[in-house]
């Protein structure tokens, strides 16, 4: 995917302003031709198109605050920013890049969470770990998980012991053998 940028006031500096849609989201095009076609429909001339920058769209990672690991000379630095319900550090790129990179620090403690921490909490299942990571916004992940579990968003299959997102599901997605909810009702 491509995005279309313009040097602000024609000055070549690193930051560009990007073409936005009516919802103020950066527009993405499948090719430079597709982007130019759209621009011409909107009244851009060839010369004007030539002055624009067509960039490959990177994934827009969420980044809240900054974490700098300790070095031999300095201690770790945790810089929190406000997000959701509190002041936290949260780094989606770190989550995506590796299992052992700090990607989340809650508001009330300096406990450092990595992709692996989320996997450990969520039965090693990536979909569940990712969902939890995406939703933490100030609390400890354990707390959010406990709240979710208490409100029935997750269930543990009595047959195979695996955890799964409940969402009205009556069959364990892992062993497929048992209708957990029906089992529970009949107890
Ligand atoms: Zn099962």
pLDDT category at 128 given cuts 50, 70, 90 is very high
What does the alpha-carbon distance between residue 183 and residue 168 come to, in Å, rounded to a whole number?
14
Beta partners for 82?
87
What does the alpha-carbon distance between residue 118 and residue 114 come to, in Å, rounded to a whole number?
7
Largest CA distance in the chain: 74
Q: Any idea where the domains of the chain sit in the sequence? A: 2-56, 63-151, 152-187
- pLDDT at position 59 over 80: no
- Per the listing, tokens 């933490």 go with 136
Cα(155) to ligand 1 centroid in Å equals: 10
Cα(184) to ligand 1 centroid in Å equals: 14
Helix (H), strand (E), coil (C) string for 95-135: HHHCCCCEEEECCCCCCCEEHHHHHHHCCCCHHHHHHHHHH
* Residues near ligand 1 ion, CB 5 Å cutoff: 157, 159-160, 172, 174-175
pLDDT digits (tens, 9 = 90+) for 147-186: 999 988 888 888 898 998 876 677 888 888 765 455 555 5
Q: Check residue 165 and give its pLDDT.
A: 85
Cα(147) to ligand 1 centroid in Å equals: 22
Ramachandran region, residue 68 (left: φ > 0; alpha: ψ -120 to 50; beta: rest): beta
Q: Check residue 16 and give its pLDDT.
A: 72
pLDDT digits (tens, 9 = 90+) for 67-91: 999 999 999 999 999 999 999 999 9
Token pair belonging to 50:
């030539």
């Amino acid at each position: 995917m491509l995005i279309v940028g313009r040097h602000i006031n024609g000055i070549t500096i690193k930051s560009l302003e990007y073409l936005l849609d009516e919802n103020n989201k950066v527009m993405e095009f499948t090719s430079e031709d597709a982007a130019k076609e759209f621009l011409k429909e909107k009244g851009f001339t060839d010369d004007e198109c030539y002055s624009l920058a067509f960039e490959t769209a990177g994934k827009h990672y969420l980044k809240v605050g900054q974490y700098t690991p300790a070095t031999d000379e300095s201690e770790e630095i945790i810089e929190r920013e406000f997000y959701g319900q509190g002041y936290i550090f949260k780094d989606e790129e770190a989550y995506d890049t590796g299992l052992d990179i700090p990607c989340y620090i809650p508001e009330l403690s300096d406990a450092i969470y990595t992709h692996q921490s989320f996997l450990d909490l969520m039965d090693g299942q990536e979909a569940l770990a990712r969902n939890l990571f995406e939703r933490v916004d100030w609390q400890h992940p354990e707390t959010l998980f406990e709240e979710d579990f208490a409100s029935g968003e997750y269930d543990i299959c009595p047959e195979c012991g695996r955890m799964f997102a409940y969402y009205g599901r009556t069959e364990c997605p892992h062993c497929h053998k048992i209708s957990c909810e029906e089992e529970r009702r009949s107890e």
